[in-house]
């Protein structure tokens, strides 16, 4: 049982390492992109002025923005 757990752990660590290596060059770009999404969210929320519907729209736009950053 311990061998199976250890094997799974090793496989997960290797998969994570491969993923990070493949995406290493884009992480800085993604971070800048997500920072821009955050800036837009803050600006949108200021304009929403506490309106819950407008705030929900801002959050949805933020989610879409982050999804776009992560997919590129």
- How do residues 6-45 score in pLDDT, each as one tens digit? 445 434 433 434 444 455 555 889 999 999 999 999 999 9
Instruction: Tell me whether residue 68 is in a domain.
Output: yes
Instruction: Give the pLDDT confidence score for residue 72 in this predicted structure.
Output: 82
Residue whose entry in the numeric block shows the structure tokens 């929900």: 56
Instruction: Tell me whether residue 14 is in a domain.
Output: no
Instruction: Tell me whether residue 18 is in a domain.
Output: no
Distance of CA 69 to the CA centre of its chain: 7
Looking at the structure of the chain, the number of domains it has is 1
User: Can you give the residue range of the structural domain that contains 69?
Assistant: 24-72
Instruction: Give the pLDDT confidence score for residue 51 in this predicted structure.
Output: 96
| Torsion from C-alpha of 50, 56, 59, 61, nearest 10 degrees | -120
Instruction: Give the pLDDT confidence score for residue 26 in this predicted structure.
Output: 57
pLDDT reading at 64 higher than 70: yes
Instruction: Tell me whether residue 41 is in a domain.
Output: yes
pLDDT reading at 47 higher than 70: yes
């Amino acid at each position: 049982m311990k061998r199976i757990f250890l094997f799974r752990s090793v496989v997960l660590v290797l998969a994570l390492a491969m993923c990070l290596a493949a995406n290493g060059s884009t992480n800085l770009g993604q971070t800048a992109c997500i920072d821009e999404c955050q800036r837009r969210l803050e600006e949108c929320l200021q304009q929403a002025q506490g309106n819950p519907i407008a705030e929900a729209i801002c959050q949805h736009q933020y989610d879409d923005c982050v999804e776009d950053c992560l997919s590129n």
